[in-house]
Structure 1
Amino acid sequence: MDASFEPPERPGTLSSLLRWTVACAAMPPLLLPALALGPLRPSSSDALMRTWCLWARRVFGVDVDVVDHNEGGYDDGAPYVFLQLNQTSLSEAFVTTAALPRWALIFMNIEFAALPFIGWVPVSQGSVVVVRQWSAQARRAVDRAADAMRRGACFYMSIEGRRSPDGALGPYKKGAAVLAIRSGARIVPMVFHGARDVLPFGEWRVRPGRVRVELLPAIETEGLSYADRDALVERLRVLAQSQGLGRPPG
């Protein structure tokens, strides 16, 4: 972002409490049906989740600009991994739906899955939960996701797997590369600008503002093998750095 950019002023406690009350009040009427519909009609469940996310953005005064370098050219029925290259803020929980061009399951950690409604609903739709500290379970989670993708499912996931407290890029995990290679899916790298300014790490008061999400050109994985996973992860990290994310090398 521009060096002269100043984050919006943090709203007051009373104003923030009121906004959270209004945002959360819409959860039961929208997300309880979404939870029930998840196993039966996941697309309808997703529509309700998107409606709540839109409501939350309006309540908090958060606008989203989406720049799609693929110009919407996504093949119907083809698997994609929509891969977030920088995870910095919980605001992404209600921002991401505005940027995803297709409905996608989520490859999520157990901490996010435990969040009331916004974590439960994706689980009900068939999203895959991973316990990263449990390597055997993590491998089974990748197997489940790869099987779903071979049937045409798409997944959204973060390559870091957790939020960065200071905006620097964290370690990149190999699971996303392995999943894409095994399923032959294209990777659509996603970068978020401004999400941390809207809701900084450790903060609960959401600041009105604008988040820009870029969907970078899709990366083909056809012809790659398991042995190529490290090179693919490194390619993604270099791509993130080229977008000005995290700290410069060295």
Structure 2
Amino acid sequence: MLTISAGHYGKGTGASGYMNEGEETALLVQELGKKLQQKGVKVNVIIDKQSKSQQQNLTYLVKQHNASQRELDVSIHFNSAPTQQKEGIGTEVLYVNPAISTFAQKISTEIAKAGKFKNRGAKQRKDLAFLNGTTKKAILIEVCFVNSEQDVKLYRANKDQIIEAIAETLKSYFPNTTPPTPAPPVTPAPTSAPDPQTITSKALQQKVEAIFNDKIAVRAQLKQGVQIGVFQPLWLEKFDAGTLTLYDYMALTTLHYQKNNSNM
């Protein structure tokens, strides 16, 4: 439905002041893309990591937007004034196609409200390569001014709300959008006490079973136990009949061990 892009090509490109436009647009677009996906909006996210000049960047972004399946193009920027200043300057949204002017005004209003910026509103610009080059309706969002100390402070303090406002307003452009159905919660299995006849270590279980399966050694051990009076002959009889269990054997071995130790 929607293709969004960071307006420059990395740290050190674009405007700079109290923050760097190239770096911040990439971060913002990534977070905005995730937020839109959570709201059920199909979104293509474009971040230019290959251009070496402004002209290459503009050509790349326009080409990538036009190659994508979408109904709306959005470019994210931060603005710059001729000089640094402490006062806030505000947010604005640029467009070239008059058919989208009302929507541009709406998104400017919502960003200003979320960020507590001055609202400079929607402005038609006929001299911008992105707006002129993309083939779908397009807007260029100037979130705030990088060389306004107040704007940058407000942006930092309200970034999550700004992202939410942009995402929710973009979602409203597609009235039939529904968020994805969340996966049902996983109910953990109830915990219970271990079975008293279960060895909790698999490795230990295997070792005990290996000993028990040595029938000659086990019979000799049981016979000795009967001879010295540690346990009754019926246990040897059960072994010969094949009805002695592993847990019987473990118990008898414990008795045998205790008898030997008591004689030490």
Q: TM-score, normalised to structure 2's length?
A: 0.26
Structure scoring higher RCO (CA < 8 A, sep ≥ 6) equals 1
The structure with more radius of gyration: 2
